[in-house]
């Protein structure tokens, strides 16, 4: 098996020996002879575009068309025409009929990169092709058939997109028949040095100059970087150093000049475990901020109330650290209604559970009991909403 993986790496120019990378290549090779849909996930710059080619070239469709489509680069108004074709006169500028990618690639493979950027109507059309192989051109009523294998890729969290109503759940499960995940470069530190040496050698040959090398300290700094842009970012930085620096041996100080500040270290952030439960969602973070602000306001009202009751000296000492500012706030008769309002706010429940239940109730009322719309409004999945309705006895 390892021999086959090494052959694939040599054929497609893949650099790296990380176990996760080898696993991804093995899955691609195993699924290649089938016609199953494949969804490739991973951050931008990890090299997802290579894997559809591995699958296509090792399949029975290798003599058919292979078309790669960047879904995020095609305007929403023309994406249906690009994928499925259109008839003459179907829209302004359609001076003649046109075949779409699914018709052109009949018997071959289509790679849909950034598939999460597809608009919802196009997702419905794509789902039909995946389920029945049928599609209709824009401006036509004739049903056409296409025998196309679909491989998709994305760098976004599809589950979150589904929860926000940006991606169809049924399409996700249809595309994700076989998942392939490509780990980010920061989780493959053993591959960083190999990639740097390969890029340095390539640029030395391209620009006809000696290849750059790193000192031991510079290599450690290179490996410790976070690399948010992954392999693409490493390649760009290697090219910059190769062209700009006169010295061919690069130390850590020189290397750091080319590393953006945000990737100097991948050390984990320190957090307080007491806050771990509080910050389980963006909504709870917002609650925490609002509650802290309200506590600050309540404390300020309490101090003002003491001043109004005649405790200027103590209150001023608390507010200003000394008593010389006592005349800043004029003496006046305490306002009973304001003090009562302060007491009422202090006694109010700060339970996140109560707040969450109230939000769910309001969302359901707003959407007339339609749970799907309410879940979308709250930014949670329908399954989560059902569970919370049952827990809160709102049925």
Which has more pLDDT, 376 or 224? 224
Fold matches, 2-183 and 186-263? no
Point out the least confidently predicted range of 221-235, 262-276, 285-299, 348-362.
Answer: 262-276
**Is this model's pTM higher than 0.75 or not?**
no
107 CA to centre of own chain: 33
pLDDT in tens, 170-195: 999 999 999 999 999 999 999 999 99
- The average pLDDT across 49-72 equals 97
pLDDT surpassing 70 at residue 325 = no
Which has more pLDDT, 294 or 171? 171
Query: Which DSSP string corresponds to 236-305?
Result: HHHHHHHHH-S-SEE-HHHHHTTS-GGGS--PPPP--GGGTTTTSSHHHHHHHHHHHHHHHHHHHHHHHH
Q: What percent of the chain has pLDDT over 70?
A: 81
Alpha-carbon Rg for the chain, nearest whole angstrom, is 30
pLDDT in tens, 333-388: 444 444 444 444 444 555 667 777 888 888 888 888 888 888 887 878 877 887 78
- The average pLDDT across 90-114 equals 94
Provide the 3-class DSSP secondary structure of residue 131: helix
CA dihedral 66, 72, 75, 80 (to 10 degrees): 50
- Measured between its terminal Cα atoms, the distance across the chain in Å is 55
CA quadruple 195, 201, 204, 210: dihedral positive or negative? Answer: positive
- pLDDT in the model for residue 186: 93
Q: What percent of the chain has pLDDT over 90?
A: 63
Which has more pLDDT, 302 or 246? 246
- The average pLDDT across 260-279 equals 47
pLDDT surpassing 60 at residue 267 = no
Provide the 3-class DSSP secondary structure of residue 8: helix
Point out the least confidently predicted range of 115-124, 156-165, 263-272.
Answer: 263-272
Q: What DSSP designation does 98 have?
A: B
Q: How confident is the model at residue 271 (pLDDT cuts 50, 70, 90)?
A: very low
pLDDT surpassing 70 at residue 321 = no
E strand intervals along 66-190? 66-70, 109-113, 134-136, 143-145, 149-154, 178-181
Six-digit token string for 296: 């600050």
What are the domain boundaries of the chain?
A: 2-183, 186-263, 283-391
Q: Which is nearest to 183 in space by CA: 11, 39, 56, 19? A: 19
Spatial neighbors of 328 by CB under 8 A, at least 6 apart, are 316
Class of the CATH domain delimited by 186-263: mainly alpha
Q: Are 366 and 377 in contact (CB under 8 A)?
A: yes
The answer regarding whether domain 2-183 maps to CATH 3.30.70.1560 reads no
Scanning the structure block, which residue is given the tokens 């771990």? 276
Q: How far is CA 247 from CA 31, 43, 202, 214, in A?
A: 47, 33, 17, 11
What average pLDDT does the chain have? Answer: 84
pLDDT surpassing 50 at residue 323 = no
Q: HSE-up of 297 (CA within 13 Å, CB side)?
A: 14
Six-digit token string for 379: 């930014």
pLDDT in tens, 23-41: 999 999 999 999 999 999 9
Pairing of strands 143-145, 134-136: antiparallel
* C-alpha to C-alpha distance for 380 and 330, rounded to whole angstroms: 51
Which has more pLDDT, 52 or 340? 52
């Amino acid at each position: 098996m390892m021999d086959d993986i090494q052959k694939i790496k040599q054929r497609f120019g893949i650099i790296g020996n990380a176990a996760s990378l080898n696993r991804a290549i093995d899955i691609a090779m195993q699924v290649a002879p089938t016609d199953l849909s494949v969804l490739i996930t991973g951050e931008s710059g990890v090299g997802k575009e290579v894997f559809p080619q591995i699958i296509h070239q090792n399949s029975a469709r290798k003599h058919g068309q292979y078309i790669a489509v960047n879904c995020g680069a095609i305007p929403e108004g023309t994406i249906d025409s690009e994928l499925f074709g259109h008839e003459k006169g179907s829209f302004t500028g359609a001076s003649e009929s046109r075949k779409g990618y699914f018709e052109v690639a009949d018997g071959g493979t289509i790679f849909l990169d950034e598939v999460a950027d597809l608009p919802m109507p196009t997702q419905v059309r794509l789902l039909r092709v995946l389920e029945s192989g049928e599609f209709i051109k824009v401006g036509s009523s004739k049903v056409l058939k296409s025998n196309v294998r679909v491989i998709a890729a994305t760098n976004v969290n599809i589950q979150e997109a589904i929860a926000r109503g940006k991606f169809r759940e049924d399409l996700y499960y249809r595309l994700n028949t076989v998942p392939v995940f490509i780990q980010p470069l920061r989780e493959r530190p053993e591959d960083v040095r190999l990639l740097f040496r390969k890029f340095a050698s390539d640029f030395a040959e391209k620009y006809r100059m000696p290849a750059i090398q790193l000192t031991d300290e510079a290599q450690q700094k290179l490996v410790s970087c976070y690399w948010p842009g992954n392999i693409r970012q490493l390649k760009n930085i290697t090219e910059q150093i190769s062209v700009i620096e006169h010295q061919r041996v690069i130390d850590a100080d020189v290397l750091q000049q080319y590393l953006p500040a945000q990737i100097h270290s991948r050390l984990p952030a320190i957090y307080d475990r007491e806050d771990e439960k509080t910050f389980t969602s963006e909504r709870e973070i917002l609650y925490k901020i609002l509650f802290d602000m309200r506590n600050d306001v309540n404390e300020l009202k309490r101090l003002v109330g003491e001043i109004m009751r005649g405790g200027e000296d103590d209150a001023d000492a608390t507010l200003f650290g000394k008593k010389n500012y006592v005349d800043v706030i004029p003496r006046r008769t305490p306002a009973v209604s304001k003090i009562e309002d302060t007491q009422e706010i202090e006694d109010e429940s700060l339970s996140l559970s109560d707040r969450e239940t109230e939000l769910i109730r309001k969302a359901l009322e707003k959407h007339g009991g339609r749970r799907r719309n309410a879940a979308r409004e709250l930014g949670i999945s329908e399954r989560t909403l059902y569970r919370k309705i049952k827990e809160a006895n709102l049925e």
